Amino acid sequence: SPEQRRKTRSSVGHHDHCDKCYNVHCQVPVQSSVSCMVIKCRKNCGATLHMCKQEEHQLLCPNETVPCINVNNGCPLTMLRHRLAKHLEVCPASVVCCSQEWNRWPVAETDPTFYRNVSENPLANTELNLDVALALRDQELLFQSIKMKNIFPELMAEEDPGLQSVSAGVNGPAEEASCSLDCGELTENDWAKTEVKEMSQEERDTLAKSRDVTSIENYNSWEKIFNKEKEGCKETVKNLNKGEKEKEQESSNSQGETRDSHQGEKSAAAARSTDGATGLAPWQDGVLERLGKEVNISEYNMYLVHNGAMLINFGQLAACTPRERDFVYGNLEPIEVKTIRSFNVPTSYRAKRCHLKDPAQRAKTTHKSVDTADLGVSVEDLPKCEEINATLLCSLEKELKGHLISESTSTDGLYVDVGTQTYSFSSAPFKTNASLAEVIADKPHGVYMHVESESVTRRHNKTSSAFTYICGHFFRRNEYRHHFRNVHCDIQASLNGWFQQRCPLAYLGCTFTQMRFYPAGQRATIKFCQDVSTFALQPQVPSSLCEGGKNLSPQRNGICNVDPLSRLPLEILQHIAGYLDGFTLSQLSQVSHLMREVCATLLPERGMVSLKWEKKTYSTGASSWRYRKKVWKFSPVFSSVDRWSFGDAPSMSDHLQSCSFYQRHERREPVALACLGEVRGKHGELKHKR
């Protein structure tokens, strides 16, 4: 501890010889304030040093017990100093986030047959169809990230005007409230009213727990209004106290002036004899400089408002900026203006014949705006737009290299087409901060993204008609390489025909698929877990081993029998759990309280820790971030697979024999081949010549 170090430092003292000595075999005699004896390290690290340097050696000794480098990030382990580097490879606080990216395109309207068949029962296709399951996961994340107010701001529901007016009146700083008090606009009755209007803590809690959507949305706005109103009232009270103190000082000063009347008369006469350089009148010289030193900024601004005209007339304030104070640019150079669409008439341009005729004989044309009202159909009878397809299309328009539907385009050097695209949805108007996932929550879900993906990072140029996704899972440092190799390199990059094989007639609507690989050495199935959004290995367990757990029956007292696994001792359960991967441990911890305690003992060795941060907002309006607690969990990684083997899946030709989309066209009548008549004619001519 620091106190012990101070004691040892004071007891040992400072030695002039020891500060410069580095000889292991030092033979200098021990003298007070000069030198001390040479000792060896108590931790048996092999170091030899003077006794007064023992405290400094503890900061470098490799055998000293120290906490982990990531102790501030949540690691609770302590170890010898020379083991810190090796520990960082398996440190639970050394967490890595996977940043693998890939792109997906929306489903085009030209090939909807396959995706329509998959969308009929998407939940049944997610267990075996890994590409469909991954596409649904990416689609859900995309729908949650798209905010309707960014795409269709004109279709959003209007907020409460009363709330807007109140919030606009309170958005000013606390100085405005204090300024209104100085002008006499806030009285004691108004102060009492503001105290009555303020909500109690119980009312705020009930408002926060209310299930009313509008109340929950407006809660933060009202809370901000109340906090600002409270701060304004505090500033008002401070100004009231300052005014009372100033009045007391003025009364005491007046009493002192009456006592020294003779001196006061002399000073007043001297002030009158001067030319008014100490007053605050608009015609006195230097009034603005003295006013800025004596009063606050609110009173200074109020003085300018009331006496601005007089200050200008007496020359105290300039009516406009003088010419000598104008900002003058330096040497200006012409800059070439470059536009996105620059039209240059080509050298081979020829005017159309219709433009070369006599203008008097040209048909009369008028410019007219075309709208849906010209169709003769009411707005209610017009077909409604589909939310998902329209939102995805408009979201792609917001891309950097995308194009707008209503963009003005020039057909040639004379004509420009201008259009405006409008949308009408059955679910409009949308709620504030509503996402696309919330809008389509009550509608049947489908697959709107391509099952094929392309891995292109943000560092490369890519098409603007694709959405980018990121893995975003967290792993321990020693688990990240297994995740990247097995998930992204082996499985995800090979789903398009190698790791998972689809029917060749999938473009016609066939949804048949089969897996071609399995981990070498053990039969297991690759599945995609939607709850965790990750791939998992499911071993193929014989049915005979699963029969014991299905025959459990309740006892007479109503308590269910404990499964055979839970009856084992705690030490054996811990030994068995040590062979499981992170994903299996996270699922096992949710089975029962006993299994949760067993998995908790493996957290320092197999789990990872992170800090959960929360935003702290103070009464003054300032905010800061602080970590609330340490969160322990297991990473979603499955057992490492070093080698894959081909499975015993049948050939795809066996499926084509029974595929309903494989329609054969048998021809029994003879069909003439192309150019067969010409060949017969030439053959007959050769026979005739012979």
Tens of pLDDT along 352-375?
Answer: 555 555 666 666 777 777 777 777
Confirm if 79 and 604 have CB atoms less than 8 A apart. no
Residue 310 belongs to what domain range? 287-316
Kind and range of the H or E run holding 261: helix 261-273
Confirm if 629 and 612 have CB atoms less than 8 A apart. yes
Q: Are residues 474 and 428 in the same domain?
A: yes
Mean pLDDT of 54-58: 88
Mean pLDDT of 635-657: 88
Best-predicted range by mean pLDDT among 70-79, 180-189, 207-216? Answer: 70-79
Q: Are residues 77 and 24 in the same domain?
A: yes
- For residue 635, the model assigns a pLDDT of 92
Residue 85 lies in a domain: yes
* Among 666, 654, 658, 602, CA closest to 632: 602
pLDDT digits (tens, 9 = 90+) for 514-531: 888 888 888 888 888 888
Q: Are residues 396 and 455 in the same domain?
A: yes
Q: Are residues 74 and 118 in the same domain?
A: no
Mean pLDDT of 312-318: 77
Average pLDDT across the chain, whole number:
75
Is the pLDDT at 661 greater than 70, yes or no? Answer: yes
Q: Are residues 417 and 497 in the same domain?
A: yes
Q: Are residues 399 and 450 in the same domain?
A: yes
Question: Three-class SS of residue 30?
Answer: coil
Q: Choose the final residue of a domain: 479, 505, 531.
A: 505
Least confident of 30-44, 238-252, 537-551: 238-252
Residue 113 lies in a domain: yes
Beta strands in 340-486 (DSSP E): 409-410, 416-417, 467-470, 474-476
Is the pLDDT at 577 greater than 80, yes or no? Answer: yes
Least confident of 36-40, 48-52, 80-84, 455-459: 455-459
Residue 225 lies in a domain: no
pLDDT digits (tens, 9 = 90+) for 177-188: 333 333 334 333
Tell me which of 188 and 564 has the higher pLDDT: 564
Q: Are residues 52 and 119 in the same domain?
A: no
Phi and psi angles of residue 373, each rounded to the nearest 5 degrees, phi first: -65, -20
CATH number for the domain including 60? 3.30.40.150
Domain count, the chain: 3
Tell me which of 174 and 31 has the higher pLDDT: 31
Q: Choose the final residue of a domain: 455, 490, 505.
A: 505
Least confident of 12-21, 77-86, 313-322, 501-510: 313-322
Q: Are residues 82 and 101 in the same domain?
A: no
Is the pLDDT at 91 greater than 70, yes or no? Answer: yes
Mean pLDDT of 308-335: 70
Q: Are residues 405 and 488 in the same domain?
A: yes
Q: Choose the final residue of a domain: 69, 89, 109.
A: 89
Is the pLDDT at 411 greater than 90, yes or no? Answer: no
Is the pLDDT at 281 greater than 60, yes or no? Answer: yes
Residue 488 lies in a domain: yes
CA atoms within 13 A on the CB side of 647: 18
Q: Are residues 129 and 104 in the same domain?
A: yes
Q: Are residues 429 and 494 in the same domain?
A: yes
- For residue 464, the model assigns a pLDDT of 63
Confirm if 549 and 563 have CB atoms less than 8 A apart. yes
